Amino acid sequence: LPKLFIFDLDGVITDTAEFHYLAWKKLGEKLGVSIDRNFNEQLKGISRMESLERILALDPSLSLSEEEKEILATDKNEYYKQLIETVNEEQTLPGVEVLLQTIKENNIKIALGSASKNASMVLEKLGLTNYFDYIVDAAKVKKGKPDPETFTTAADALSIAYPDCVGIEDAAAGVHAINDANMFSVGVGSMDHLAKANFVVHDTSKLDFEEIVQHFSNWKK
């Protein structure tokens, strides 16, 4: 069996990936750049400032000072915080809490691997904090996804070897990070973006403990 499951938050545990998207879209409208769902795939799992840089790069005429960038990033976060006000215990995505319970029943550790500064707050709102043995958020890492640091930090904190870990992600950058950490990667979403994952499910309702463990064992051989 794996010894540690590391969950991404936004888009895996709850659908806050949609709220990040809507908040960036609103900021984009203010800047006169349109952000569609396809481009948004490149923002998933990416830190707030790096996401802003990628958006600003869409329009080379937008050259802003660091101070102006800070203000825009804060604006986006204000939009985002308004959107997550409605997050409550009913908004955990289908299948996730059963998976968390099953992992616990098997005496396997659980960590969070999120790039978000809002991660602990969202986990609290969902009432899921108690499942987690360790939380990695934006404050704990120097290099964000696709760098493996988010995932290796969780494994190191719990003294677990990387190939004994399973990482679950909805972002291409996150899958890349898990693979580079030499952990088993589970992608949640479309093959179009997650083809590099060791195992892909269409949505969280398809996250089955036995099935993940089976694929993990084959990968380890």
Total of residues contacting Mg ion (CB under 5 A): 5
Residue for token pair 């660091």: 66
**Min. distance of Cβ 82 from Mg ion in angstroms?**
20
Instruction: Please identify, among the stretches 8-16, 95-103, 140-148, 205-213, the one whose residues bind Mg ion according to the rule CB under 5 A.
Output: 8-16
* Side chain identity, residue 28: G
Choice from 4, 5, 11, 99 touching Mg ion (CB under 5 A): 11
Which listed option, ligand G6P, Mg ion, none, makes contact with residue 46 (CB within 5 to 8 Å by class)? ligand G6P
Is 8 labeled as catalytic in the residue annotation?
Answer: yes
Q: Which of residues 149-188 bind ligand G6P (CB under 6 A)?
A: 171
Q: How far is the CB of 57 from ligand G6P (least distance, A)?
A: 15
Residues 6, 13, 46, 93: which binds ligand G6P (CB under 6 A)?
46
Interaction between residue 10 and Mg ion (CB under 5 A): yes
Residue 109 dihedral angles phi and psi, to the nearest 5°: -80, 155
Q: List the catalytic residues.
A: 8, 10
Question: Which residues contribute to the site for ligand G6P (CB under 6 A)?
Answer: 10, 17, 20, 43-48, 51, 77, 114-118, 138, 171
